[in-house]
Structure 1
Amino acid sequence: MYENTFPEKRFKLTLEFLQKHISKEESILDLGISNPLSKIMKSQGYSVSNTSGEDLDEDVTGVINSNAEVVTAFEIFEHLLSPYTVLKSIKANKLVASVPLKLWYASAYRSKTDERDRHYHEFETWQFDWLLEKTGWVIKDRKQWANPVNKIGFRPLLRRFTPRYYIVYAERV
């Protein structure tokens, strides 16, 4: 079902969560450039547009000018210095967003080859909940899941049962 997708479990669970809360008649602004997950959403009948790759810490024009009814943000807020600014700028009344959770046994992700592919934040659930509350959102549903890897060792064992991803459905107050 998910052609050319490395994180198949994450995409499957994210799509199921989206389908639970968002109808295919609602327009979606997906934060970030077109990606495998936004392509899957389109293939499932959602009307999705993406931001253009601008630095959302510096330029929220695409968010402000959007007339989408829903905003999705899948693993994007951890890359921003100030997700607060983006969350306050959203005009839509519905938000579906996921973030990686902070793991006590691992450092925040930092690509050695791509300067843009680094996590400034890895959240604890209460931190992300508080950020949403402070920016005018009320969480209506949430889910967490682990991200097992097929390796041997202590950390791979912990990844089998330690939640790594956190997804929420929220509505504007």
Structure 2
Amino acid sequence: MAQLYYRYGTMNSGKSIEVLRVAHNYEEQGKSVLLFTPSIDSRYGTGVVTSRIGLHKEATIVGDDTDMVALTCEAMPDCVIVDEAQFLSEAQVLQLTEIVDRLKIPVLCYGLRADFMGRLFPGSTALFSWADKIEEIKTICWYCNRKALMNMRYKDGIPVFHGEQIQIGGNESYLPVCRRCYKEARTRFVEAAGANV
């Protein structure tokens, strides 16, 4: 039975390598995969899913007006996979539910749970509401051995705790950290300076 999956994790938890691994497994068995990625994710070029270890695969770009249901109807793949799903809108997540419910094709979404301020993204909020199965992809804190829960944003090597929700970047801009290390950094760099959090 087809289902909508949301597999979430912090930055650097291996989400994109998991996307590529799952796509490879389907294709190795002679099955077809339709891979989507939001147009906003341009870290390694638009329309490509790339892991930090260097593997990559071309993907169909999802923009504001992309009809993922129509594209899936044309391709009729065995599976639909969405990378960086936190950048989807609720309407786009609802399109994914149509792919599962009407076309009976499984949809696997991978993305972040929350931004660098600990706030849910629109796509992750919708996926937590609409997904059949929610699974965490875990990694450890950059600074200690606890499980990473937060994405700490950096500018010039200094943690920042305010700004636009979306800023595309990799290890130069974000590190996975546990809640305790996040709170300690916020106390050191923000509250000590008298800034609002």
Structure 2 length as normaliser, TM-score? Answer: 0.46
- Per the alignment, residue 112 of structure 2 pairs with 100
1:160 equivalent in alignment to 2:165 = no
Distance 1:129 1:18, change over 3 A: farther
The percentage of counterpart residues that share the same residue type is 12
> What is the 5 A alignment of 1:1-173?
9-10=12-13, 12-16=14-18, 19=21, 22-23=25-26, 24-25=28-29, 26-32=31-37, 34-37=47-50, 40-42=55-57, 50-51=59-60, 53-56=62-65, 60-76=69-85, 78-82=87-91, 83-90=93-100, 91=103, 93-103=105-115, 105-106=117-118, 120-123=122-125, 128-133=127-132, 139=133, 142-145=135-138, 146=148, 147=151, 151-153=157-159, 159-162=176-179
Structure 1 residue runs of 5 or longer lacking an equivalent are 1-7, 43-47, 109-118, 134-138, 163-173
The whole-number CA distance in structure 2 between the counterparts of 1:17 and 1:58 is: 21
* Amino acid paired to 1:95: V
Higher relative contact order, chain-length normalized (CA < 8 Å, sep 6+)? 2
Q: Deviations over 1:63-92 (max 9, x none)?
A: 222221111111135332411123312536
The whole-number CA distance in structure 2 between the counterparts of 1:17 and 1:159 is: 19
The whole-number CA distance in structure 2 between the counterparts of 1:13 and 1:85 is: 22
Q: Deviations over 1:72-114 (max 9, x none)?
A: 1111353324111233125363332113213583556xxxxxx
Query: Equivalent residue of 1:31, what SS?
Result: strand
The whole-number CA distance in structure 2 between the counterparts of 1:78 and 1:98 is: 10
The whole-number CA distance in structure 2 between the counterparts of 1:19 and 1:96 is: 12
Distance 1:86 1:36, change over 3 A: closer
Q: Deviations over 1:113-134 (max 9, x none)?
A: xxxxxx54443xxx6343023x
The whole-number CA distance in structure 1 between the counterparts of 2:47 and 2:116 is: 31
Q: Deviations over 1:128-157 (max 9, x none)?
A: 343023xxxxx3x7223444556444859x
Number of residues paired by the alignment?
129
Q: Deviations over 1:22-51 (max 9, x none)?
A: 443232101136214399354xxxxx6x33
Distance 1:76 1:28, change over 3 A: same
